[in-house]
């Protein structure tokens, strides 16, 4: 399994590190436009191989896509992150051009690649890759929901004073400050609905904290987060590489599912060797359906800014 990570910045490097530590890929190529930057990150990471006990070979490339040839999976993290006070949607002007160029270069050298889009605004960048590459829809996956769900579980664990490993829960909808739909009704602690343990008000607070999870960290760090994003991406890559058939909420092209059409938005999918092998349609209640619909309208509005 050969994996390319485009963008050797905070998220790209974290993602490469988690993939290496999990030791399932034979090769990871990191590519960046900054001269020698990806090579430096790759060398630094390779010097952890004997310390962390992995065999994955990590190499770097300064914008030479021939080094990425034959990649099974490529992760796009190239582009600018937001600063405190900004929304993800404000990044579209610069990131759309980068994502379009990067995905086209990747496919020239790896025509059968599965692309995982991370750059923001992620749902719209995923839609852009669909519109411009001609790759089959199962091979274009947006990463947002896996991260948002991890943050949801973190907030639930905090509220329930429980270990995160006791908690299950999922966030669907757009990867934006207002568009996320944390499925509080379906969240559980060891199969028991979380509403058994905390008040409705506290659960609403968990939901709100989850939705602004990225903005909260951006304010604290001065730029957006990278550890949990990198770990979330590595989970998706591993599910594909190891044909795990795991379910994650991912941004997928919808063609009628959930009553939505012609957009990419976070819904549960089964990930395996063929990328998105199935979109899982949950039985949402009326309030959840309405929130997902509202979220889809926000994503479509941002998609409308693309010059296609």
Ligand X SMILES: O=C(O)C[C@H](O)C(=O)O
Ligand Y SMILES: NC(=O)c1ccc[n+]([C@@H]2O[C@H](COP(=O)([O-])OP(=O)(O)OC[C@H]3O[C@@H](n4cnc5c(N)ncnc54)[C@H](O)[C@@H]3O)[C@@H](O)[C@H]2O)c1
Binding mask 166-205 for ligand Y (x = CB under 6 A): ---------x------------------------------
Q: Does 147 engage in binding with ligand Y (CB under 6 A)?
A: yes
Structure tokens at 243: 């044909």
Query: Site size for ligand X, by CB under 6 A?
Result: 11
Q: Dig out the tokens for 25 from the structure.
A: 């890929």
Helix (H) or strand (E) run with residue 218 in it: helix 213-221
CB atoms within 10 A of CB 111: 11
| Nearest in space to 213 (alpha carbons), one of 268, 141, 156 | 156
In the set 42, 225, 232, 241, which binds ligand X (CB under 6 A)? 225
Kindly write out the interface string for residues 58-87 of this chain, putting x where it contacts ligand Y by CB under 6 A and - elsewhere: -------------------xxxxxx-----
- Smallest distance, ligand X to C-beta of residue 210, A: 10
Shorter beta-carbon distance to ligand X: residue 205 or 223: 223
Cα–Cα distance measured from residue 14 to residue 224, given in angstroms and rounded to the nearest whole number: 13
Pairwise CA distance, residues 238 & 222, whole Å? 30
Counting contacts by CB under 6 A, is residue 211 touching ligand X?
no
Report the C-alpha gap between 121 and 265 in whole angstroms: 11
Pick from ligand X, ligand Y, none: which does 218 bind, CB < 5 to 8 A by kind? ligand X
Contact 7, 32 (CB under 8 A): yes
DSSP of 13-31: HHHHHHHHHHT--SEEEEE
Q: Tell me, yes or no, if 109 is annotated catalytic.
A: no
Binding site for ligand X (CB under 6 A): 81-82, 88, 120, 147, 175, 214, 218, 224-225, 229
Binding site for ligand Y (CB under 6 A): 6-12, 31-34, 37, 77-82, 91, 95, 98, 101-102, 118-120, 122, 143-144, 147, 175, 223-226, 229
Catalytic annotation, residues: 175
């Amino acid at each position: 399994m050969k994996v390319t990570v485009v963008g050797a910045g905070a998220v790209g490097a974290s993602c490469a590190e988690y993939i290496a530590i999990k030791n399932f890929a034979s090769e990871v190529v990191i590519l960046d436009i900054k001269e020698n930057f990806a090579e430096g990150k790759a060398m630094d990471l390779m010097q952890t191989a004997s310390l962390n006990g992995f065999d994955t070979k990590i190499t770097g490339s300064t914008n030479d896509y021939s080094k990425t040839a034959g990649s099974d999976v490529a992760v796009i993290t190239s582009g600018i992150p937001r600063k405190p006070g900004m929304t993800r949607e404000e990044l579209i002007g610069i990131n759309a051009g980068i994502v379009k160029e990067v995905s086209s270069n990747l496919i020239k050298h790896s025509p059968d690649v599965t692309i995982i889009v991370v750059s923001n605004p992620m749902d719209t960048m995923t839609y852009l890759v669909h519109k411009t590459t001609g790759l089959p829809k199962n091979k274009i996956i947006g990463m947002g929901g896996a991260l948002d769900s991890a943050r949801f579980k973190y907030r639930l664990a905090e509220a329930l004073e429980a270990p995160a490993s006791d908690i299950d829960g999922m966030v669907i909808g757009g990867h934006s400050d207002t568009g996320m739909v944390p499925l509080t009704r379906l969240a559980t602690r060891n199969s028991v609905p979380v509403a058994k343990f905390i008040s409705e008000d506290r659960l609403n607070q968990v939901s709100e904290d989850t939705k602004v999870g990225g903005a909260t960290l951006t304010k604290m760090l001065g730029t957006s987060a990278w550890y949990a994003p990198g770990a979330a991406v590595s989970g998706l890559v591993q599910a594909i590489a190891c044909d795990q058939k795991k379910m994650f909420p991912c941004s997928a092209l919808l063609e009628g599912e959930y009553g939505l059409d012609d957009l990419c938005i976070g819904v549960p999918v089964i990930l395996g060797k063929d990328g998105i092998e199935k979109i899982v349609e949950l039985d949402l209640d009326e309030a959840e359906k309405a929130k997902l619909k509202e979220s889809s309208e926000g994503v479509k509005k941002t998609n409308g800014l693309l010059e296609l």
